[in-house]
Amino acid sequence: MKKGRKMYCGGYTGKIMRINLRESTAREEALPPDVARDYIGGAGFGIKYLFDELKVGTDPLGPENKLIFALGPFTGTTIPCASRMAVTAKSPLTNAVGVALTGGHFPVELKRAGYDVLIVEGKAPKPTYVSIKDGKVHFRDARSVWGTKTTDCQQIIKNELKDQNTRISCIGPAGENLSKMACIINEMRTAGRKGLGAVMGSKNLKAIAVRGAGSVTVASKEKLKIARGHMIKAMKESPVLYPEFSKTGTPSNVDNTCALGIFPAKNWSATGEFTPVEQIGVEALETRNVGREFCSGCPVGCSQLNLARTEPYAGALSEGPEFETLYAFGGQTGVDNMDAIIAADRLSDELGLDTISSGVAIGFAMELFEKGILGLADTGGLELTFGNHEAMLALLRLMAFREGIGDLLTDGVKIAAEKIGKGADKYALHVKGLELPGYDVRGAKAHGLSYATAFTGADHNRGYAFQEIFGIPVPNAVDRFAVEGKGKLTKWNQDVRTATADCATMCVFILDMAVSHFATQNTAALMEAVTGFSYTAAEIEEVGERINNLARAFNVREGFTRKDDTLPERVLTEPLKSGASKGHFISKDDLKKMLDEYYTVRDWNLNTGVPSREKLVELGLAYVADELGC
């Protein structure tokens, strides 16, 4: 046993809270130091417990699914940009591993309440919310807030608990109605994607309210001062972090992706043609800006508060829209009305809908309508033409409440296309059931390979190829149109991002913009200072590799194979028609070459995508190899 495994010196509380909703019981468990050492925290903990505790074939919306809230050792310390949390469950949208990341203040409050991990099991017999305060857990009647939007829900619970500083994670009507694209909201931050809000709703759990008075110790204040100093120096020296990103946030990427010719438009049929920078780019959004929001302990404050100015949307206030939302409710739907996008962003948060999946579903329906596959009889009279922002907002409400065509779309484009037939699958943009994020990967091939291979399905947080999107030459410079070397690059991106951001936990924007050139060394130094666990930079990367292999094993166990590591037909067969990426696409041969390289560097079977026994044993996952029979 390595030094540092026998006890916790800092960073961790060493405790798990396990809540059984059916029995209305709560019990504390010890977090094994070996688990902390090998998985660090966050997504690592979530995937570890999901693999170990879920039976094969578990219904994602059944009581046996687990909903796991997991923090990293950096959460609650003085490390900046570390108020992050991973929420993990089997996804009802994909039937694969579902991990969603969120920031705000809830993660720090949960750590101060005394826990590294919160595991929610079973189904409550009636609508319930759970309150946790310094080790005391109460199961409370949620019938008074069932049906409320998320802001109202949080305020009512704070009033009921007589504590306005309570931090709350909750679902809206979409989660209650088991929309497979429902998310979890804390304040105005979102654990979006993969339908984890539906998992929470399936458990009759409206909210979790947390209050804590504890503090987080660290192993060495002196080492933390030095390691933190190196990180802050890199943040200050970044040419974009404070000069640009802290002032504009992610929306500036609309301008960037339009310039690259990869801002997806009109269900990916008009990328490079519809480039509404003047209407919904960063300068247009700045005219609506009324302030900024900061996650706990964050000096950057990238979240922008924006106020719609024109009718019929005047007065709508949103903490956003972020880039992905500008894509989903703007480019994807052909909407160039900024105030409509702000209103749609706020409405989605109130209803508890993932903006990416819902926007992609709306754009999908719009293309089907324009092609005559859907008619007015199908849409309830809605004219679902690209650019119709009134119809877009109407569809959001229908999706959240499962009414009319919303009932069809709210389970995602994969299921909707199967039900519609008539060739609709050709226009369904997803991987493994998860809708595509806001980068047209026909002009960024490593980014496309990451979409194809990510254990969650197409995910903007799994192996983001910042080398292609921002031209950052780490670990090396790349040609975004090239195929060669993209398998190796994608593995590096996925493993490093998993360990340094998703597990530690830390905001991924800091990884991309400030510490990418020493990301693993930065995490290793901070881990030793905070926890006392000693890692090399290579060992940090190995943690990411271990977690990606374990997640892959979960999916293999559920029946996923190489055939699922693919991209939509449009991406594989239709070259881009206009813009800086004109003529490019990811051919089936391109994808095959990249997959072969990726599987080879991962040591996965080239035909099936199953990790080799040797690789699993090397990563300390022999028990996983035994279960897979490899």
Residue 48 has pLDDT above 70, yes or no: yes
Q: How far apart, in Å, are the Cα atoms of 362 and each of 387, 409, 527, 550, 570?
A: 11, 8, 43, 34, 17
Asked whether the CA dihedral 485, 486, 487, 489 is positive or negative, the reply is positive
Q: Are 197 and 177 in contact (CB under 8 A)?
A: no
- Give the residue among 304, 356, 98 at the shortest CA–CA distance from 188: 304
191: which strand partners? 184
pLDDT digits (tens, 9 = 90+) for 126-168: 999 999 998 899 999 999 999 999 999 999 999 999 999 999 9
Task: Report the alpha-carbon distance of residue 624 to residue 627 in Å, rounded.
Answer: 5
Quickly state the pLDDT bin for 525 (edges 50, 70, 90).
very high
- Is the whole-model pTM more than 0.85? yes
Task: Report the alpha-carbon distance of residue 419 to residue 428 in Å, rounded.
Answer: 12
- Common-topology check for domains 249-429 and 441-567+587-628: no
Task: Report the alpha-carbon distance of residue 616 to residue 341 in Å, rounded.
Answer: 45
Q: How far apart, in Å, are the Cα atoms of 486 and each of 20, 149, 465, 565, 599?
A: 44, 43, 10, 15, 11
Kindly state the DSSP code that residue 501 receives in the 8-state scheme. I
Please report, for the chain, the start and end positions of each structural domain, with discontinuous segments joined by +: 15-211, 249-429, 441-567+587-628
For the chain, percent of residues with pLDDT exceeding 90? 93
Between 189 and 98, residue with greater pLDDT:
98
pLDDT digits (tens, 9 = 90+) for 194-244: 999 999 999 999 999 999 999 999 999 999 999 999 999 999 999 998 998
Residue 467 has pLDDT above 50, yes or no: yes
Q: Are 483 and 593 in contact (CB under 8 A)?
A: yes
Please tell me the class of the 15-211 domain: alpha beta
Flag the least confident range among 263-267, 295-299, 355-359, 415-419.
295-299
Where residue 390 falls (left for φ over 0; alpha for ψ -120 to 50; beta otherwise) is alpha
Residue 506: alpha-carbon gap to chain centroid:
13
CATH topology of domain 249-429: 1.10.569
Token pair 């909903």 is at which residue?
A: 67
Q: What is the pLDDT of residue 110?
A: 97
Cβ neighbours, 10 Å, residue 211: 19
Residue 340 has pLDDT above 80, yes or no: yes
Per-residue pLDDT averaged across 545-554, rounded?
Answer: 98
For the chain, percent of residues with pLDDT exceeding 70? 99
Where residue 87 falls (left for φ over 0; alpha for ψ -120 to 50; beta otherwise) is beta
Quickly state the pLDDT bin for 175 (edges 50, 70, 90).
very high
Residue 187 has pLDDT above 50, yes or no: yes
Structure tokens at 258: 């339009």
User: How do the residues of the chain divide into helix, strand and coil, expressed in percent and rounded to 5?
Assistant: 45, 15, 45
Q: Which residues contact 340 (CB under 8 A, 6 or more apart)?
A: 308, 313, 329, 389, 390, 392, 393
Token pair 């930065």 is at which residue?
A: 522
Token pair 């807030």 is at which residue?
A: 145
Q: What is the pLDDT of residue 301?
A: 83
Residue 2 has pLDDT above 80, yes or no: no
CA dihedral 600, 602, 606, 609 (to 10 degrees): -170
DSSP labels, 260-326: HT----TTTTSTTT---HHHHSHHHHHTTEEEEE--TT-SS--EEEEE--STTSTT-EEE---HHHH
Buried residues in 530-563 as b, exposed as e (16+ CB within 10 A): bbbbebebebbbbbbbbbbbbbbbbbbbbebebe
Cβ neighbours, 10 Å, residue 3: 8
For residue 475, say if its preceding peptide bond is cis, omega within 30 degrees of 0: yes
- Give the residue among 422, 399, 423 at the shortest CA–CA distance from 412: 399
Residue 598 has pLDDT above 50, yes or no: yes
Q: Which helix (H) or strand (E) holds 598?
A: helix 588-602
Per-residue pLDDT averaged across 402-417, rounded?
Answer: 98
Residue 58 has pLDDT above 70, yes or no: yes
Strands (E) across 398-461 are located at: 430-431, 434-435
Angle at Cα 39 formed by Cα 35 and Cα 45, nearest 5°?
A: 80
Residue 6 has pLDDT above 80, yes or no: no
pLDDT digits (tens, 9 = 90+) for 309-338: 999 999 999 998 999 999 999 999 999 999
- Give the residue among 75, 67, 68, 66 at the shortest CA–CA distance from 13: 75
Task: Report the alpha-carbon distance of residue 380 to residue 404 in Å, rounded.
Answer: 7
Task: Report the alpha-carbon distance of residue 582 to residue 596 in Å, rounded.
Answer: 26
Task: Report the alpha-carbon distance of residue 440 to residue 73 in Å, rounded.
Answer: 35
**Which CATH code, of 1.10.1040.10, 3.40.50.300, 1.10.599.10, 3.40.50.150, is assigned to 441-567+587-628?**
1.10.599.10
Per-residue pLDDT averaged across 43-64, rounded?
Answer: 98
Where residue 136 falls (left for φ over 0; alpha for ψ -120 to 50; beta otherwise) is beta
Q: What is the pLDDT of residue 565?
A: 98
Where residue 511 falls (left for φ over 0; alpha for ψ -120 to 50; beta otherwise) is alpha
Q: What is the 3-state secondary structure (H, E, C) of 117-175?
A: EEEEECCCCCCEEEEEECCEEEEEECCCCCCCCHHHHHHHHHHHHCCCCCEEEECCHHH
Structure tokens at 76: 């609650």
Residue 5 has pLDDT above 90, yes or no: no
Q: Are 488 and 601 in contact (CB under 8 A)?
A: yes
Q: Are 539 and 495 in contact (CB under 8 A)?
A: no
Task: Report the alpha-carbon distance of residue 624 to residue 556 in Å, rounded.
Answer: 11
Q: What is the pLDDT of residue 602?
A: 98
Q: Which helix (H) or strand (E) holds 87?
A: strand 85-90
Q: How far apart, in Å, are the Cα atoms of 262 and each of 273, 277, 295, 439, 440?
A: 10, 13, 30, 6, 5
Task: Report the alpha-carbon distance of residue 143 to residue 154 in Å, rounded.
Answer: 14
Residue 1 has pLDDT above 50, yes or no: no
